[in-house]
Structure 1
């Protein structure tokens, strides 16, 4: 679990999960990010320099059309976000 305070500028490592399978050829589009797929989820993990870069990355992902599942700041590529359980998310949250 990430217990370090996030940098105010938003820099650090992020894990972004998308519903669906993104072909590995897209990895070159997301320079510095590692792309993996499995169990109907695409996972992008890598460094992001600041909030502007994070928002730009999210805009590019939006344009691809796969639903966004989660965005999580992590310590390293080896530290995954907590599992996503859509059936336990409170309504209105």
Structure 2
């Protein structure tokens, strides 16, 4: 028995933190991610990412915007599972 087809899987959810406060209008540019302005002067973006190409696209947009990328974390896997808390280089948080 095989697992769900790629079309049946839910996208992975990611949390990305950047330096500075981004206004809500940037949400659409970042694929509809939820933007939360934190008290420490950073913004946390949370939302689904359909695949690695889409993740790299979001990272490119962060670079193009000129803000500092602080962290990237997968908060759930593509098939309802939970991913371990890891940062972009695979270390434990």
What range is the shorter-chain TM-score in?
A: 0.5 to 0.7
Paired position in structure 1 for 2:19: 19
Report the alpha carbon displacement of residue 31 of structure 1 after superposing the two structures with TM.
2.2
> Highest relative contact order (Cα 8 Å, sep 6+), 1 or 2?
1
- Structure 2 gaps, min length 5: 1-10, 78-84, 86-93
TM-score normalised by structure 1 residue count? 0.66
1:67 aligns with 2:68: yes
Distance 1:33 1:24 in 2: 10
Cα deviation 1:26-74 (Å, max 9, x = unaligned): 1121223111112211110000000000001100111111100000000
> SS of the residue aligned with 2:28?
helix
How far apart are 1:75 and its partner, in Å? Answer: 2.4
Whole-angstrom distance in 1 between the partners of 2:74 and 2:52: 12
In angstroms, what is the RMSD of aligned CA positions?
2.4
Shift of 1:24: 1.4
Give the aligned partner of residue 91 of structure 2.
none
Query: What stretches of structure 1 move > 3 A for 4+ residues in a row?
Result: none
Q: What is the number of residues matched between the two proteins?
A: 70
Partner of 2:4: none
